[in-house]
Amino acid sequence: MYYPRSFLKFILLGFLLVSLPLVYALAELILSLDRLESQGRQEVLQAAQAGRTSRLLYEQATTLERIARQHLILEDNALLDEYGHLREDFRQTTRQLAALPLEPGSLETLEKLADRESSLHNLLTAPGRGPDVADQLADGYSQLVDGAQSCGAIPLDMHATGADFYAASGQKWLLGPQGTGALWVHPRQHDRLRPATPSYFTYADGHVGPLREGAARFDPGSLDTTVLAGFAAAMEWVERLPGGRDAWLREAAANSAKARVRLASVPGASVQDPGGPTSGLIALRLDRHESADAVAHLAERNVLVRPIPDTPYVRVSVGAWTDDADIEALAAGLESLG
């Protein structure tokens, strides 16, 4: 048995014995911190990977939707081949994202997305696809309507259109300045869409977090207040006229009807009527002249129309501002072509 030879050695030995648990605890703490650092680094890398993969998945899903829509319109089978190649990339990205430690809610959303795409793919590639299948395919995607030539020209009920998103130009029938417009977003899409350029006005009370109620959350990061004021002034000007917007639209419809009747009486001219409700846009076919030649001839007489590209038609725009003299000037100019 060992006995210390001095009191000092005895104190030193006691100190060492007491220090051993502390040294062990310190070593364990260092190892825990190292493991925590490694775990934190791994979680950061996984979060970054999840972000990159999510953005890639969104881009692929958007491209798949675009190709599907093109195929529905063009019925080009080559687009199905392109869809198939991109679909493999989409499915691989889905598997990569599912392999990450996602929250249960995120994983469930991912599974629903993959199932929905599979269902749409089966419909898209179904042999002998009929109108009912085409309708199901269209219903499987969000509906975006280009309303550049309708908003301000005809009465609109946004909910009745069935659109998820309805885009309108401000400088056309709404008489606003260049660079103005609007996007109507159906309430069912408010929580599915994220602002591309968020700003102070995107969030409730200006605090980053909860978004503002309604579609105002989708306003861009900055607005040109000058053109916005001009847009508002144009809208208010029509509303303050006798009868307001409703009377303005009725006047436009009446002028369009008169123009169609008068133009149909021009020799060699025929008004193309697609049927159904009409707007102030009139497609006029000239049997004896090229559309570009007719447009140039009318411009010399201060009558402004335009050719419809890649078609034999001339486009005539008739609105509430058009009067009988304008219609007669157009008809007389066409008749002077001979």
Mean pLDDT across 173-195: 87
Domain count, the chain: 3
Beta-strand pair 165-169/144-146: parallel
**Are residues 186 and 272 both part of a single domain?**
no
**Are residues 172 and 135 both part of a single domain?**
no
- What is residue 100's predicted lDDT score, i.e. its pLDDT? 78
Does any domain span residue 1? Answer: no
| CB-CB contact of 337 with 311 (8 Å) | no
Q: What is the pLDDT of residues 74-104, one digit of tens each?
A: 777 788 888 888 888 888 888 887 887 777 7
Q: What is the pLDDT of residues 29-38, one digit of tens each?
A: 666 666 666 6
- What is residue 135's predicted lDDT score, i.e. its pLDDT? 66
Distances (CA, A) of 211 to 166, 186, 207, 220, 282: 21, 16, 9, 13, 43
**Are residues 110 and 162 both part of a single domain?**
no
**Most confidently predicted of 27-36, 54-63, 177-186, 216-225:** 177-186
Residue 261 confidence class, pLDDT cut points 50, 70, 90: very high
Which range of residues forms the domain containing residue 157? 144-240
Distances (CA, A) of 193 to 17, 108, 197, 218: 65, 18, 12, 9
- What is residue 6's predicted lDDT score, i.e. its pLDDT? 61
**Are residues 49 and 135 both part of a single domain?**
yes
Task: Among 6-20, 162-176, 184-198, 323-337, name the one with the lowest average pLDDT.
Answer: 6-20
Q: Which helix (H) or strand (E) holds 101?
A: none
Does any domain span residue 7? Answer: no
The overall average pLDDT reported for the chain is 82
Does any domain span residue 5? Answer: no
Beta-strand pair 281-286/306-307: unpaired
**Are residues 236 and 324 both part of a single domain?**
no
Does any domain span residue 3? Answer: no
**Are residues 132 and 157 both part of a single domain?**
no
Does any domain span residue 4? Answer: no
Residue 61 confidence class, pLDDT cut points 50, 70, 90: confident
Q: Which residue has the higher pLDDT, 328 or 223?
A: 328
Does any domain span residue 277? Answer: yes
**Are residues 115 and 74 both part of a single domain?**
yes
**Are residues 46 and 165 both part of a single domain?**
no
CA quadruple 129, 130, 136, 139: dihedral sign = positive
**Are residues 124 and 234 both part of a single domain?**
no
* Last residue of one domain, picked from the residues 76, 110, 139: 139
Q: What is the CATH number of the domain that holds 326?
A: 3.90.1150.10
Strand partners, 166: 145, 184
* Last residue of one domain, picked from the residues 190, 217, 240: 240
Q: Enter the DSSP assignment of 308.
A: P
- What is residue 24's predicted lDDT score, i.e. its pLDDT? 65
Residue 175 confidence class, pLDDT cut points 50, 70, 90: very high
Strand partners, 317: 281
Phi-psi region of 152 (alpha: psi -120 to 50; beta: other; left: phi over 0): left
How many Cα atoms within 13 Å fall on the side-chain side of residue 80?
Answer: 13
Q: What is the CATH number of the domain that holds 196?
A: 3.40.640.10
Does any domain span residue 290? Answer: yes
| CB-CB contact of 163 with 145 (8 Å) | yes
* Last residue of one domain, picked from the residues 139, 160, 175: 139
**Are residues 219 and 312 both part of a single domain?**
no
pLDDT at 20 over 70: no
| CB-CB contact of 72 with 32 (8 Å) | no
Strand partners, 314: 284, 307
Q: Which residue has the higher pLDDT, 117 or 135?
A: 117
- What is residue 304's predicted lDDT score, i.e. its pLDDT? 94
**Would the pTM count as exceeding 0.95?**
no
**Are residues 133 and 200 both part of a single domain?**
no
Does any domain span residue 45? Answer: yes
CA distance 177 to 170: 7
**Are residues 24 and 134 both part of a single domain?**
yes
